[in-house]
Chains A and B, each alone.
Chain A
Amino acid sequence: MEKETILKATNIVKYFHDPVEVQVLRDVSFEVKKGEFLSVVGKSGCGKSTLLYILSTMDTDYEGQLEIRGNKVRGWSQNQLASFRGEHLGFVFQFHYLLPEFTVLKNVMLPALKLGKYSKQEIEHNAMEKLKLVDMQDHAIKRSALLSGGQQQRVAIARALINEPDIIMGDEPTGNLDKTNSQKVFDILQRLAIDNQQTIIAVTHDNDFAQNSDRIIEMSDGKIISTHEISA
């Protein structure tokens, strides 16, 4: 069964201008299918994080075409992109970036409250569901600053899931975690890809993590040098 394409990058070119002009991405093109678990690997400075932030629509300073869910997003205004991100994309960063003043539950609820698609009660219910998914339901009313690193990362995943995004992007999602916690995070992401048909794109240094995903894109010096399908 041929799956539909959810994200398509065509000839992405990116320069850094400061302090000197450096080309960081050279004609990067690839496609990602719905429900695919994709890992992007490569040495530090190869441009893989830069690529991820372009895919995330947060970085708009590039050339080439980016198509997400059939929308050509290049040239959209910052406000359009923010709304689009809120609705269709979820993020998990290396450092969890929870809002420390808010409770765990509120952190998860915020993107949904902003989107405003459901009532507050429904959002609260959904947020609890997501917390159960990452096994953090018991900590819902704690201030997020009081959690351990691994726990915070799981909450961050729950937050990324709250608006049922099509694509979840991770920048070193396990980079800051020990073996046990890394495994937990990986299992959650894999379950999302298989059970919910959500697409995962993760930049990683973690070899075990990459080897267990569906496909690995290896980058070097701003180019894709190889693509491996991993047969289960």
Chain B
Amino acid sequence: MNWKLALNIAVTHLITKKKQSIVAMLGVMFGISMFIIMISFMTGVNDFLEKMAMDNTPHLRLYKPVRIKKETIVGQLNNGPDDWVVVHHQRPKNDLPKIRNGLQLAGMIEGLQGVQGVVPAVNSQVFFNNGPVQIPGTMSGIDVRKQDELFLLGNKMEEGSLDELLRSPDQIILGRGLAEKASVKTGDRVSVTTSEGYNIVLKVAGIFSYGIATLDDSKSYGTIATVQKVLQRDPSYITEINVRMNDMSKAVAFRKELELKITEDVLIEDWEEANASILAGEAIRGVMTAVVSFTLLLVAGFGIYNIMNMNIINKMKDIAILKATGFQGKDITAIFLLESVIIGLTGGILGLLIGFTFSYVLSMTPFPEGTFFRINTFPVNFKAEHYTLGIVFGFLTTLFAGFFPARKASKIDPVQIIRG
């Protein structure tokens, strides 16, 4: 087959029918550019949310659950065969949320395979006092170095530093929103009241921001020793163990393994349970991107199919004469297939350029100042594989759309056309 000749004829056809060719090209261009914009933005949002949620989320969280005993003391006393004991509205026992042997347990888990690190923590609800006003919040006592290593706490510091926190006792760091509500700055003192009524004054060693308002408005961190002191507990008092895995996708399997191994009364929660809504959102955006992109390309494909079909009906006489003068069916197929592929590739490349331009503009656009997320511009990804996917997809669509008209053209019977 003589591809050069077929290409020559195809290009001549396209050039003489400029308007038609450009309309077909615009269809592909629009489809591909929308595809690029959609996928860049959607994956950008996904990555942004995932990073935000995952940076400070433990892959596994061990804590002591609040349980209500099924068997009541009254029941134990009156357990004759004819006795019925009904207790309405049973309350839990006043148990401390302490994990027994918490530090040893943390050490044991840290030694297991696949675990990147473990941070034991002391968590408590507290009130921050701003004059007569009490602001509810939480206080976590943590191993500061490990928390920084595993959850990148140091990166989130806006004022002050983690070193400052370690330098002397009775210090805490506050979330930005919380610091604003308590109207304190780095170096100020803040009065904290625990749920049990103990009161203590702590120094603010710094202010952090995760960019997630719900966290920044309520969370504070101190060393384990400081928080234990605030709560007036002993040094073995641990309420939570946070585990970070080397590979977060293995967390669920590891949880099941761990549940069999641990005899202490703890519940284990993995990140997929804790972040089910983020994962669902990601899946929905993924499906949406695929559906919209596919629809756009399908529409562009139908456009090309239509134009090629019309083109071939207009060129019946030409096809007949080419066949009469020695062109074979496959030569004719090649000519018309090349026409649609040229349309597809030109439209596709233009689409990539336009898609890139719009994505770039979007990535520069300021994100509306909100309270939930703290970002400056729209999150947009620029990934080579999306652009490759776009051009390959565009190429295949036009190849497919051009194939049927081209095959029809190759089957035209020259006698019928020439005899009229």
Contact = CB atoms under 8 A, between A and B. Distances in A.
Interface of A: 49, 53, 56, 58-59, 78-79, 82-83, 85-87, 91, 93, 97-102, 110-111, 113-116, 159, 163, 171
Given A79-B330, A114-B5, A171 B418 contact: yes
Of listed A99, A116, A171, residue having the most chain B CB within 10 A: A99
A41 B202 CA distance: 117
Contacts of A87: 326
Contact of A97 (B2, B12, B16, B418): B418
Contact of A101 (B13, B320, B326): B13
A213 B214 CA distance: 101
A83 B317 CA distance: 19
Interface residues of B, number: 24
Contacts of A85: 324-326
B318 A58 contact: no
Chain B interface mostly helix, strand, loop or mixed?
helix
A53 B415 contact: yes
Contacts, number: 67
B321 interface: yes
12 contacts: A49-B419, A53-B418, A59-B415, A82-B329, A83-B326, A85-B326, A93-B321, A101-B16, A102-B12, A111-B326, A114-B327, A171-B418
B322 interface: yes
B232 interface: no
Nearest to A50: B419
A30 B141 CA distance: 109
| Minimum-distance CB pairs A-B, first 5 | A86-B326, A111-B325, A101-B16, A97-B321, A82-B328
A114 B2 contact: yes
Interface string B295-316: 0000000000000000000000
A115 B418 contact: no
Interface of B: 2, 5, 9, 12-13, 16, 317-318, 320-331, 414-415, 418-419
Contacts of A115: 326
Contacts of A53: 415, 418-419
A82 B323 contact: yes
A113 to B, nearest CB: 5
Contacts of A114: 2, 5, 325-327, 331
A117 to B, nearest CB: 11
A110 B317 CA distance: 15
Nearest to A54: B415
Contacts of B418: 53, 58, 93, 97, 171
A119 B320 CA distance: 25
B217 to A, nearest CB: 70
Contacts of A97: 317-318, 320-321, 418
